[in-house]
Structure formats: C-alpha cells, structure tokens
A and B are shown apart, each in its own frame.
Chain A
Amino acid sequence: MRSTTLRDDVPLEDALDTATADSASVEVLVNNPHGLHLRPATEFARIAQATGCSVRVRCGDREGDGASVLELAMMAIGPGARLLIEVRGPACEEAVRELAAAVGREFPN
C-alpha cells in the first residue's frame, strides 16, 4: 500500500492512491486553524462511522480509531500536522476522499 500526500494545490483525484480493492489511504496536511480539536474531530468521526469502514488515523507516533471522537481528540492533532488516514472496507476510495476533504476543510469556530 502506497501513500500520497494531499496538498491544497494538488487536485484530490491525483493525490489519491488505492492499493487494493478494499483498502485505501491518504496523507493529508491538517489545515484547520486549531487542528483536529473536539468539533472537527466530531465531524470526522461522524463521517468515519457513516462509511461503515474501519478507519485508522496516524499522526507521527500516535495512532487511533478514526470513528472515535475521543481517540481523535486524545491524539491532539494540531494545525499543520501530517495525518495518515487508512480505510478498510467496501467503497473505501470514496470514504477516504470524504475524510480527507473533512480535515482539509476550514471549520467555523
């Protein structure tokens, strides 16, 4: 499984890479001004739960369940962090795209 870095200046389609039919991953740059704090984490977990896939996130040496707002919040993912999102399950490509967009999106505070 290879990973790609998602940059604001690179279209999502090009950055995305899927290794197998039921798993996909993407590395994103967290561009939310306060990082993945409670509310963006809630949003992220909600999307992760809705995908019905298994979602793992890694940030440096920290790792957690993307569907758990508590695990995400405890990872204390700050703005500008590099976040690896790994999704396993049906329609994982669409899921990883949605999740990547969620972290790259500007959250109102």
Chain B
Amino acid sequence: MEIYTGVPVSPGVAIGAVFLLATEERSVPERPIAAEEVAGEIERLGDALVSAREELTDLLSATGVENEISAIFSTHEMVLTDPKLSTEVGATIQDRLVSAEFAVAHFFDDLVRRFQSVEDPYFAQRASDMRDIERRVLRALMGDRREEIAKLSDPVVIAAHDLLPSQTASLDSRCTLAFISEVGGPTSHTAIIARSLGMPAVVGLGEIMAHLADGSLVIVDGNRGQVIVDPDPAQVQRYQRIMQGFERYRLELARVRDYPAETRDGHVIRLMGNIEVAADVASVMDAGGDGVGLFRTEFLYEEGRPPPTEQDHVDAYVSALRQLAGHPLTVRTFDFGADKITPDADAPAEPNPFLGSRSLRLCLERPGLFMPQLRAILRASGYGAVRCLFPMVSGLRDLRRAKEMLEKARVSLRTEGHYVSEEMPVGVMVEIPSAAIVADLLAVEVDFLSIGTNDLVQYSLAVDRVNERVAHLYQPAHPAMLRLVRQVVQVGLDSGVSVSLCGEMAGDVLYTILLVGMGLRELSVSARSIPAVKQVIRRITVEQSREAAAWCATATSHEEVLTRLRESLGELVPALA
C-alpha cells in the first residue's frame, strides 16, 4: 500500500482499477505489464503501425503531386513499414515486459541518440523526422486506448500526466470513476473536466504514473487529496463506507433544491447565483437559486468582435430577466482589466494592472464604453427586478461619479421617451479595503453593498492569488478579513442597507456557518455550489453559527479558523469530513 498526496480539485471518493492514459507531449512512463499481456501489446503495436501508415498514405494522396513534402511522408512511410521497427519494439515489449507505448518511445529515443552522435549536422537534424514518426505511432496507440476506455465494461480511474483537451472526447461518466494526474492545479484541464462530470479528482500528485500499472487498484479521495495505491482490505472497507456516505450526500443535495435556504430556527438566507452569460440563469434556477447576485457583464465582450451595442446589452439583460421569473438580476457593470477581459488590447501596458486603470476606473475614463451599458441597464429595469452594481469603488468620489453618469443616462432615456424605473436599486462592490473601511459613508448613498471577497482578500493581504509562489498566503479567513467583513455587515445592520457576499468564499461550504454567524443574509455563489451551501444552511441554527463566528473572531490565525470550521463542517455534513 502506497499513499500519494496531491491537490483535491473535485470532491468525492472512488475505488477502482486504474487506466493509464499516456500523453504525447512528454516521454512515456515505463509501464510494466504481465507476461500474458505481451501478445496483446504486440498486437496493439501492429495495429498502431498499420493505422499510422494509413494516415501517411492519406496524407500522401492529399498532397497529390510529388514534391518535398510528399518525399518526407514517403520516407516516414518507409520507416513505418521497416520490419526492424516492429521486430525491435516487439522484442522490447517481450523482454522487458513493458507497454507498447514505452517500447516505442524507448526505440526512438535510442535511434535519436545515435543520429545525434553523428558529427554531420545533417544527420543530427534527421532526429526530428524520427520524433515525428514516433509521435504518429504513439498517437495511434493512445487513440486506440481512448477507444478501449469506451469499450471497458467496468468504469476506471483515469490516470494521466495531465489530461489534454483532445483526450477528453471519449471520456464520460459511464466509463470513468475518477481522475488523477501528476501535474496541475485547481484550474488544470483535469480539474475542470472532473468537476464538469461530477467526479472526484486529485491533481499535482507528482510522479505517480511510474508506480501504477493498468488495473492497479486505487482509492481516490477527492475530499482530502489522497490516492492510495494497492490499498489493504481494511482501507477498502473504510472507503466503501465513506463512498456510501458520499452517495447519500449527493442524493440529499439533489433533493434540497426544492427547499428554501432557511436555517433550522427559521432565518431565511437569500442564496443567489453568479452568472457570466444570460443562459447561465437556467442552471442557477435549476440548482434552486433565489436570483442572480452577480452578472459578470464583461463576458458580453468577445475578443476580436466589435463591442456590444446598447441593444446587445438590453437583449442579454431582458433574456436573463425572463428566465428569472421575478427574481432579482444584479448587473455588475464592466469589470475589465488586470486578469480579466480588456476592451482595448492596444492600450499601453501598465506596470501594475491590478492597481491600474481597470474596472470602474476605466469605464469612467471612457463614457463611450460605459454609457451604452448604463442606458441598457436602465432600459432593462422596466422588464424586471434589476439591480445595478458598481465594481472597484474605493470611496464616495468614485460612487458619485458613477451615479452621475447613471443619472445622465436616465435623463437622456426619459427625453427619448423610454420608460425608466425610478426605483432601480444601486449598489457597490466592497472589494477595495478602503471601501470596507468607509462602508458607512457609502451606505448613505447606496441601496446595497456586495462584498467581493476575491479582490478584497487580494488587496487586503497584498497577495496575487494566481501567483503560485504566494497562493498559500491567499487566506479568506485571515483575521483581518474577518474583521473587515464583520465591519461591513455591521454597517448594513446600522443603516438598513442590505449586505451580500460573493466570491469563492461564499461558495465554499467550509465558510457557510461563519458567514451566517457574522450576520450575512445574502450570498451569491456559482450555480454548482448552490445545493451544497443550501444544505449546510438548512442544518444550522443562527444561534449555533453566531457561536462559531464569535469563536473565529478571537482566533489569531487563518489556520486556527480553518481547523475550527473543518470540525463544524464535519459534524454538520459527515460525508465531507
């Protein structure tokens, strides 16, 4: 039994046979096979050589005339049909008991080494021809492996160095149990694919492929980020119980969608969804959301396309409103720049874009860009419960300038004869520390405050969360963060202005009890997170959450807070323990 630890990127637990998926982008790991698999591997090799040759024949006939390119393909074809290739690779499979992929890679590595040892540079350059032929054969081998997966009777755990987008075509939930990969983080392809399929996944495991054979029994713990290779029977039994618990948890989540996000003692939390395009509303409503707490409108911009017109905006907002059936739609004005989409790629590069002219600052500089959006938001307010949200506000000055422009838009629309709602709520994102500190001043002039934790953590702790070197310092439960959030919530209570919280922290069930305990009554999360957050809400009392929050407020570090929250979550949802 061997335990490997990586990064958990998709929750759940799976026990099953592993299926190794090699990738053509790197050298193929040495994968041992059993003696009785030799014949099968040699057959796979033969098939791969044939299909690689057919591919070349097709390429040759496509080029038509004889030229330099057809001469190259013709050479490659000759190599593929050379009996020496199949004999030597076959012998490696048989003598060393390795996979066809490894034997092929070994053969070409050796060949390339010999070519490179010749002094004539012309010979050395032919190494690239060999690599090209090698890639073609490996592709044929792996391609047939992808088909094999689809043919497997029992689903498997897919193991790869990193899954490539092209490798995912034939992977679906019927043939896969879980994913594990050697590299990658929460945003790697493997992670994205696993989450979209709802399968457990652990990435960043390091060199695990070499320690796995096809069919090895593994346990994938996507909650803790562990992979157990060749587990003993006691471990298997333990994890079978955990899996049953997780399966029940899944079913509970499916049921919870039709119930309100209400605590056991009757406090209702408004649980809303974040969307990027109008079509996302459907998944928010399907998940049992109470409206849209954040419409990220910068996605209306598409690279290389003309900017959206006022009518494009109106269409998007009205389409979202129709699907929302009376629930609110919170439209955040363009939040361009820094790590996000930017409207003018030609703009001079800023040395520190996160502290530069981004988001609302850019919009205020560019009325031509901002006005059509403001007009569209106002026009859409005639069709449903629209709320207008300004991002990147640092204090009253920004807010007032934005509101002045909104007022201008209102006046011009009215003179044009449009119906414009007088009551459209206006709010600001609290994501710059200064805005949190002067939240009381802002509250006088807005209808709601929305705490954006992603940027608020980044700006408060001075940590770029996409920078891997400092990512561990990105701590949403840092005592400073908790104080800022509490302060903003208190402003809301004192002034009667509603306060919501969006950002990844809101969608992570670990923090739910803390956020409710700090007094938040409105959260906006991704559609995917709605059921899990709602379930936690339905299992707590406000009294209990206040105790947890009070305890966390006395904690001196992020780690202490997390330890306490993990304990609470384990008690509330044993499947996630």
> Residues on A close to B: CB < 8 A?
34-35, 37-39, 42, 45-46, 65, 68-71, 73-74, 76, 78-79
Contact = CB atoms under 8 A, between A and B. Distances in A.
15 contacts: A37-B126, A38-B75, A39-B75, A42-B75, A68-B82, A68-B83, A68-B84, A69-B79, A69-B82, A70-B79, A73-B111, A73-B115, A76-B117, A76-B118, A78-B118
A76 B120 CA distance: 9
Given A76-B115, A78-B118, A78-B120, A38 B82 contact: no
Contacts of A39: 71, 75
Given A38-B126, A73-B115, A46 B84 contact: no
Contacts of B126: 37-38, 73
Interface string B57-87: 0000000000000010011001100111100
Given A37-B126, A76-B114, A76-B115, A69 B120 contact: no
B78 A42 contact: yes
A70 to B, nearest CB: 5
Given A34-B123, A76-B118, A78-B118, 10 more contacts: A35-B123, A37-B126, A38-B75, A38-B129, A42-B78, A45-B82, A69-B78, A69-B82, A71-B82, A76-B114
A74 B114 contact: yes
Contacts of B75: 38-39, 42, 69
Contact of A34 (B83, B115, B122, B129): B122
Contacts, number: 53
B337 to A, nearest CB: 51
A56 to B, nearest CB: 14
Contacts of B115: 73, 76
Contacts of A34: 120, 122-123
Contacts of A38: 75, 126, 129
A70 B115 CA distance: 11
A35 B83 CA distance: 23
A38 B83 CA distance: 16
B10 to A, nearest CB: 45
Interface string B105-148: 00000010011011110110010010000000000000000000
